[in-house]
Amino acid sequence: MNKSAIRATAPHDHTHCQSEALSRAESLCEERGVRLTPIRRKVLELIWNSHRPVGAYAILDHLREGDRGAAPPTVYRALDFLLENGLIHKLESLNAFIGCDHPEDRHVSQFLICTKCGAAVEIQDPAIANAVKKSAGSAGFTVGRLTIELQGLCPNCSKA
C-alpha cells in the first residue's frame, strides 16, 4: 500500500494533515498567480475535514451554518477553481470531492473507496494509467480525462 493510503487509513493527526494541505494549496496558488479567496479556502478546508469524499450540497450546508446567503453557484465556482488547479479530485461514481494529496504535479490518480466506512484514498500507479491509455489508444480512442475508482474494503473494515 502506498504512503497516502497508509496515512489515510491509519490513525493519524488529521488536524496536521488538513493544515498541511491548506498551506500547500496557499503556496501553490501564490506560485501560480491565482487567488485562493476566502470562500475557495473554506471549501477546500471542508473537503479536507476527513478522508471521506464530500458532495457539493454537504459543503453548501456547512457554508450556510456561517453564512445563510451561501448559494449553490458559489460552491460550484469554488469547486471548479479547486479542480482546475489540481487541489481536489472529483470521484465520479460518488459525485463527490476529495482533497489531492500531491497537487504540485498534474497526474492521473486511482482511488480506493471503502464501501463500508466511506474513506477514499488516492494512489498513483503510473503503470495502471499507462495500461489504460495504451488499451484506449489501441482501440483508436483518445483519452481526455482518466479517473480510476476501485471500490472495496479498507484495511480497518476488512479486519472488522
87, 44 in Cβ contact below 8 A?
yes
Q: Quick one: what percent of the chain has pLDDT higher than 70?
A: 91
Burial class (CB in 10 A: 0-12, 13-18, 19+), 132: middle
The three-class DSSP label of residue 91 is strand
Which cell is 4 given? 497516502
* Rounded (5°) CA angle 129-132-134: 105
All structural domains of the chain, each given as residue ranges with its CATH number in brackets, are 3-159 (1.10.10.10)
- Write out pLDDT tens, residues 106-147: 888 899 999 999 999 999 888 998 999 899 999 999 988 788
CA atoms lying within 13 Å on the CB side of residue 112: 17
Cβ neighbours of residue 121 closer than 8 Å, sequence gap 6 or more:
4, 5, 8, 9, 51, 111, 112, 154
* Rounded (5°) CA angle 66-78-123: 110
Answer yes or no: is pLDDT of 1 > 50: no
- Global pTM reads 0.85
